[in-house]
Amino acid sequence: MTTPLAAELGRLAAPASRTPFDDVRLSLVDALVAANTANRMGQDAWEEAFGAAVRSLRLRVLAEGETAVRAAAQLARYPARRMASVLPSSEDADVLLQRLLAEGMPLERFEGFADDPVTRRARAAAMETAWDGAVRVATAEMARWRAVAAELATWRRPTTTLWVLSVATLLIALLLASWLSGFVPAPAWFRPVNDLWWRLWP
């Protein structure tokens, strides 16, 4: 990286402390470095670098969100056939990408501007603002998926139907035992079964 570009990128190139998605940020910086080395620092280079960075953010957020949801589902023994309804969908991916790309609007103000020192500093400041906004969106989306996973981890299989079936089975078994033992008179339609049952015992 040339010294002027390093200074222009400010916190984007050298944050005061570790920040979320640092590897994606470094890839963004690398893309700008490559464009600077190729003497190609027009508007397209900045927008392409930002677009690639937010697409990486989207992949990261959705991948980690899916991992968290699957782990929670496994813990809760959530039915596999219902997993598709809780995992990140293609619609989620599209919406997230549009939200992330929208954070690049500060860069759009420089469309058609020449690559001069003043414009480059302004683009660098706009890129820093856009990146900070994209990180906020990605962090909020990550928190949303963690909340989905946390809620899913508390899921328990409904037991009402199981209890009803168990009680019904028990009552039927008790009734059959009562008929077979003669404790309760068996209905006429059941007497052949009763007779067959007692013939089995010498």
Distance between CA 138 and CA 57 in Å, rounded?
7
Q: How far is CA 64 from the centre of its chain?
A: 6
CA distances for 122 relative to 7, 36, 101, angstroms? 12, 16, 19
Q: What is the pLDDT of residues 58-99, one digit of tens each?
A: 999 999 999 999 999 988 888 888 888 899 999 999 999 999
Q: What is the pLDDT of residues 125-149, one digit of tens each?
A: 999 999 999 999 999 999 999 999 9
Buried b (16+ CB within 10 A) or exposed e, 94-114: eebbebbbebbebbeebeeee
Q: What is the pLDDT of residues 4-42, one digit of tens each?
A: 676 788 888 888 778 789 999 999 999 999 999 898 999
pTM of the model: 0.74
